[in-house]
Amino acid sequence: MCHIIIHLSEIVSPSEQCKKIIKQLFEHTETHPNIIAFIFHAKHPEFLSDERLLCNTSPFIKLRNTIEKGINKGEFQEIDIWVATTCIFGSATRMIQLHLDRVIEKPLPEYTEITINTAWQGIKRNEYKTKNMLSTDTQFFTTDYTSNNNWHIKL
């Protein structure tokens, strides 16, 4: 995990860093499934009882710091850091678990874009979009909330 994060220093945008991390995690799962499986399936406190929880180790702290920078720069919504981190990396983590359990058989890199785009819908700043069905019609409308506190309705 550190190997992935160390190479991100040249990427300025926290959102781009997150995308790169997910991409590299998916690729690493394909090339090093045993290492990733160990990280995901081992019950670390059972054999590392004197160590910090995995979520409080340097690589995971760096992930949260990246999210926090994104919030501070206005790239992400101002929400709890644990919620924001889960929104970004939770879906990727679940995809990795499903792949390791052989539920998902296609290579994970084929899911990179859709996983990232879906995660972004939950954390992007001021781009809330909801679709609602009009009462008697099958037409949908979309509402966008903008930074100046205005709602725009698009039919």
The model's pLDDT over 114-130, given as tens digits with 9 standing for 90+, comes to: 999 998 888 887 544 33
CATH topology of domain 2-124: Tetracycline Repressor; domain 2 (1.10.357)
At residue 23, the pLDDT reads: 94
pTM assigned to the model: 0.68
- List, for residues 10-59, the tens digit of each pLDDT value: 677 898 999 999 999 999 999 999 888 887 776 655 666 666 666 777 87
Backbone angles phi, psi at 60, to 5 degrees: -75, -30
Domain boundaries along the sequence of the chain: 2-124, 126-155
| 13 or 131, higher pLDDT | 13
Mean pLDDT value across residues 82-104: 92
Cα separation, 4 vs 117, in Å, equals: 20
